[in-house]
Structure 1
Amino acid sequence: MFVQQPIAILDSGVGGLTVAREVMRQLPRERIVYFGDTARAPYGPRDPEEVTKFTREIVDYLTQFRPKMIVIACNTATAFALEDIRARVNIPVVGVIKPGARAAIGRTLTGCIGVIGTEGTINSGAYENALREISPHVHVISEACPLFVPLVEKGNFRSFETYETIRLSIGHLRQYPMDSLILGCTHYPFLADVIQEVIGPSINLISSADETAREVSDILHVKGNLARGDELPVHQFSCSGDPLIFKSITQQWLGEQIEMIPVVWQVPQIG
């Protein structure tokens, strides 16, 4: 029986589920194999060499599923490891930074764009470079928010602690004349409601998820590699850390769109 090759999506944890959900919405026939490196999250404080090493290990693990494309749904891993992975595999590899930058440039009216992300992503300058590559005169305000990913990995999306953490981290950005704020970490859309509450209703929150899914669709279409048939796929989700927390967040975020396959939780130790 013919089995569709999946799209492999990887992240440092649960953040990439925001990209997976959008791929599933835009491309409902495509099968997804997802890996979240929850045991070693967050990647933001780690040095580039370590992030690249971890990303290589995850890609090596995912190749057993014979994917037709790899999506690095982690901004830090995209910043540090995208080109390395592209050089190591012979299938398309998509990151999340350039799609996010394109979406922000398309939405801004003032030309002043904020970016929040992990320390690694912000310090790399990857978003600033991607934005200025499209629009050289754009004004970019960047802020590292290292406390956000741990909130998401614990499933703490809305609480007094969450609100205070976000307020203390980004409340000062309201003084700038920006009209768009890039959520430069795929974990951050889990906190979007509180971020919007803190930053104000007039600011466009930009997630790279929908633009990344659109790029995935475009590449597969050009290559004639879109999934065929009417049968809905069964997606596989796995992680390197606590499977119970991961499974709970996955089902909460994706709802009834997936079927959890118990065997996929027994992933080998990597790294």
Structure 2
Amino acid sequence: MQRPIGVIDSGVGGLTVVSELMRQLPKEEIIYIGDTKRCPYGPRPAFEVAEYTWEMIDYLMSRDIKLLVIACNTASAVVLDDARQALDIPVIGVIHPGAVAALKATENLEVGVIGTEGTISSGAYYEELKSIHNDVKVVSLACPTLVPLVESNRYTGEEAKAVIREALEPMLDYPVDSLILGCTHYPMIEREIQDVVGEDIHVICSGDETARAVSTLLYHEQLLYTGERRPRHLFYTTGAKAMFQSIAESWLKESGLDVRETDLKLPKATRKVKSGMEEF
């Protein structure tokens, strides 16, 4: 199946998922959209997150993707269920894979979650963890300063470490042995987070588990590409192209990425939906 995988995020954070997809599925082509102009999504009301997320989904559906990854935790919490009902392709979020990975790692069933205000207030990780294991204890902490740190490309150095330490300090009072990075931006500062919480804490990134879920689903749906082509990935940003390209090439360790700016506007709505449902 030669059609690409679509990945959406509020900004550059979903590149952490793309990195794992490229590693685990090296033959697959990826089209990525980062809504950097309107990032972060965390402080926004749910209706606004839904509106912006559907704009990205519609844009990718017009490019005939075969599977959609909602790589933004906030968007996953708000839109994932509706997208699965509406679209005629498989849709994967990052919350369930992150919860699964944390429960694999924890030994005392004390799990911490850090994320944006929107993700934490939704209770999505708490509900997901509890749906899998009744006895797990969950401590959640919103860290609104961390996404702007990553999006501005200022996430290294002593100043960044001070911001990260201040954001995580309340979590240090709890006996968690596993910490879910409940925002796909956070793996870009995983090392700094690990330094703050200590080496005894399992820091959980959802990218690896999400890529495994994508691989499994593509296999079962007979959608895997098995030919000999060299994949050509495409990256869209709604914000500054130069900043996005710098971060993307640094994180993915590739130069000359095909990065383009977009306003997400389509000549007409093109959402593909399941049979029997309204078409927009």
Same fold (TM over 0.5): yes
Q: CA RMSD in A?
A: 1.4
Question: Could you tell me how far 1:248 is from its partner in structure 2?
Answer: 0.3
Partner of 1:249: 247
Q: What is the match of residue 65 of structure 1? A: 63
Query: CA contact under 8 A between 2:34 and 2:237: conserved in structure 1?
Result: yes
| 2:191 match: secondary structure | helix
Corresponding position of 2:192: 194
* Cα distance change, pair 134–269 in 1 and its aligned pair in 2 (3 A): closer
AA partner of residue 128 (structure 1): Y
**1:151·1:162 contact (CA, 8 Å) conserved in 2?**
yes
Per-residue CA shift, 1:95-148, capped at 9, x if unaligned? 000010000001000100000000000000000000011111101010000000
CA contact (8 A) 2:98 2:209 kept: yes
Contact 2:56 2:264 in 1 (8 A): no
Deviation of the 1:57 alpha carbon: 0.5
Residues 266 and 169 of structure 1: CA distance in aligned 2, closer, same or farther (over 3 Å): closer
* AA in 2 matched with 1:260: L
Going by fraction, where is helix more abundant, 1 or 2? 1
- Secondary structure of the 1:237 match is strand
Q: 1:174 maps to which residue?
A: 172
Partner of 2:223: 225
CA distance in 2, matches of 1:268, 1:112: 43
What is the distance in 2 between the residues matched to 1:189 and 1:252?
14
Contact 2:20 2:207 survives alignment (8 Å):
yes
TM-score (norm 2): 0.92
Cα drift, residue 269 of structure 1: 4.7
Q: CA deviation at 1:63?
A: 1.3
3-state SS of paired residue (2:249): helix
Instruction: Tell me how many residue pairs correspond in the alignment.
Output: 266
Q: Is the 8 Å Cα contact of residues 9 and 33 (structure 1) preserved in structure 2? A: yes
Residue 132 of structure 1: aligned partner: 130
- Percent identical pairs in the alignment equals 49
Unaligned runs of 5+ in 2: 267-280
Amino acid at match of 2:207: A
Output the CA distance in 2 between the equivalents of 1:217 and 1:269.
28
User: Match for 1:268 among 258, 263, 267?
Assistant: 263
Counterpart contact for 2:59–2:264, Cα < 8 Å: no
- Structure 1: gaps of 5 or more residues: none
- Look up the equivalent residue of 1:212 and give its one-letter code: T
Is the 1:234–1:259 Cα contact (8 Å) retained in structure 2? no
The answer as to whether partners of 2:55 and 2:264 remain within 8 angstroms in 1 is no
**Structure 2 residue matching 1:49: 3-state secondary structure:** helix
Q: Counterpart of 2:242 in structure 1: which amino acid?
A: L
Amino acid corresponding to residue 267 of structure 1 in structure 2: T
2:134 aligned partner, one-letter code: P
Kindly state the Cα deviation for residue 268 of structure 1 after the two structures are TM-superposed. Answer: 3.1
Could you say if the C-alpha distance between residues 121 and 35 of structure 1 is closer, same or farther in structure 2, counting changes exceeding 3 Å? same
1:1-271 correspondence to structure 2 within 5 Å: 4-256=2-254, 259-261=256-258, 265-270=260-265
- Using the size of structure 1 for normalisation, the TM-score is 0.95
**In 2, distance between residues paired with 1:64 and 1:266?**
16
- Cα 1:156–1:270 change in 2 (3 A) is farther
- How far the C-alpha of 1:171 sits from its partner, in A, is 2.0
CA distance in 2: counterparts of 1:158 and 1:197, whole angstroms: 13
Measure how far apart 1:231 and its partner are.
2.2
Q: Deviations over 1:9-41 (max 9, x none)?
A: 000000000000001100000000000000000
